[in-house]
Copies of this chain bind each other. A is one copy, B any other.
Amino acid sequence: MNQSSIGRRFVLTTWGESHGKALGAVVDGCPAGLSLCEEDIQGYMDRRSPGKSPFATARKEGDRIQILSGVFEGRTTGTPISMAVFNEDMRSRDYSNIMNIYRPGHADYTFDQKYGFRDYRGGGRSSGRETLCRVAGGAIALRLLADLGIHVTAYTKAIGPVACQDFDESQIANNFLCMPDEQAAKKAEAFLYDCMEKKDSAGGVIEGRITGVPAGLGDPVFGKLDAALAGALMSIGAVKAVEIGDGIQAASSLGSQDNDGFAWEDGRIVKTSNHAGGILGGISDGSDIIFRLYVKPTPSIARPQESVNKNGENISLEIGGRHDPVIVPRAVVVAEAMAGLVIADALLCQASSRMDNLKKLYQKP
């Protein structure tokens, strides 16, 4: 696998820098015959955009996705689907204030160490803006899954210290924070206004649920479905922990509590609980898949921070301009996209894992 791609059969490759000409995504391996148009993808892109949220920086351009290849007469052709968002907001700016310093919590220093120099314009490739390519690619995966009855839903579980106590799915789209709990959303908003006043920032927790996944996806050892999810979700910038099912709680529970029983129900086998979060031995068990990701606070804050410049000087740094006090709500759709990519890939891989499948597809009558 090369460094900017993810997936084995449903492969997403992304490119682009925050303040370059464009950012884009190539999906290679999407099966032929999936109904797809730009509006399908734009819907996901718009969920990532700040809208009127007081907690997100507006960028001028509308981030319009264009499909450049791989779709013909409204259907995917089986060949690479190339998509791009062109940066309209490309006026030349003055970067002299950041090109020689290293912002705490950002990748400025590590990029310089890795490559010898960096594209310092707006964070370049390390900007959160790269996630729009994940969303574009993930949107296609999510549509493919939907055609097969598989759905991914993510939402904000907590903002800073404020966690949801309730789950009302209809609320998710009703507040700027994507929280399924109206009261928690209000408390979290108040908390964020306080953060902003203190020139500080907050993190939070995103939870996701995947329904309709057939049992049997994922591979036994290194290709475990939970391992693929963990890798994909941790690759979202600012994520510092990933859980599956009971996650961290599992470590302090007993076997008799954590094991999910089996039972026959209407002629099929079901689990009587779902501590495992839908994955056993790295393979989907037919229950809902549950995941959680923990997001660190936005590193750009206006408070003074200790840092350095390239001239060998220690400096006090105040990051000007307007910055999102929290990125969690905008990352919700990114989490859905990454989960969708992993499940779609596992589904395509599974197609060739049994001789009876191959015979269904290839055996001559």
Indicate if the CB atoms of A263 and B72 lie closer than 8 Å.
no
Q: Which of B9, B15, B228, B354 contacts A33 (CB 8 A)?
A: B354
Indicate if the CB atoms of A15 and B258 lie closer than 8 Å.
no
Identify the stretch in A43-51, A167-175, A296-304 within 8 Å (CB) of chain B at 4 or more residues.
A296-304
Known contacts A237-B281, A280-B110; A68/B20 CB under 8 A: yes
Q: Roughly how many angstroms separate A222 CA and B242 CA in the complex, as a whole number?
A: 15
Indicate if the CB atoms of A227 and B237 lie closer than 8 Å.
no
Most buried by B among A70, A158, A281, A282: A281
Indicate if the CB atoms of A237 and B282 lie closer than 8 Å.
yes
Indicate if the CB atoms of B234 and A224 lie closer than 8 Å.
yes
Indicate if the CB atoms of A200 and B115 lie closer than 8 Å.
no
Q: Name the interface residues of A136-166: CB closer than 8 Å to any CB of B.
A: 144, 147-149, 158, 160-161
Indicate if the CB atoms of A107 and B280 lie closer than 8 Å.
yes
Q: Name the interface residues of A208-233: CB closer than 8 Å to any CB of B.
A: 214-224, 226-233
Q: Please tell me if A53 contacts chain B, counting CB pairs below 8 Å.
A: no
> Which residues of B sit under 8 angstroms from A79, Cβ to Cβ?
4, 15, 17, 119, 124-125, 220
> Which residues of B sit under 8 angstroms from A8, Cβ to Cβ?
1-2, 8
Known contacts A214-B362, A251-B203; A77/B298 CB under 8 A: no
**Contact pattern, A 120-133, Cβ under 8 Å of B = 1, otherwise 0:** 01001110001000
Task: Count A-side interface residues using an 8 Å CB cutoff.
Answer: 171
Q: Roughly how many angstroms separate A355 CA and B239 CA in the complex, as a whole number?
A: 31
Most buried by B among A17, A23, A255, A308: A255
Identify the stretch in A55-63, A179-187, A345-353 within 8 Å (CB) of chain B at 4 or more residues.
A345-353
A105-B280, A255-B298 known; 5 other A-B pairs, CB under 8 Å?
Answer: A13-B13, A77-B124, A126-B220, A200-B256, A231-B232
* A-B residue pairs in contact (CB < 8 Å), sample of 30: A2-B5, A3-B222, A3-B223, A4-B26, A4-B80, A15-B81, A29-B353, A68-B84, A78-B353, A102-B269, A105-B276, A106-B281, A109-B215, A109-B269, A111-B281, A114-B215, A114-B283, A115-B216, A125-B220, A126-B220, A148-B363, A158-B251, A160-B254, A200-B254, A227-B232, A237-B281, A240-B251, A241-B244, A258-B297, A263-B306
Known contacts A75-B117, A242-B234, A355-B147; A3/B349 CB under 8 A: yes
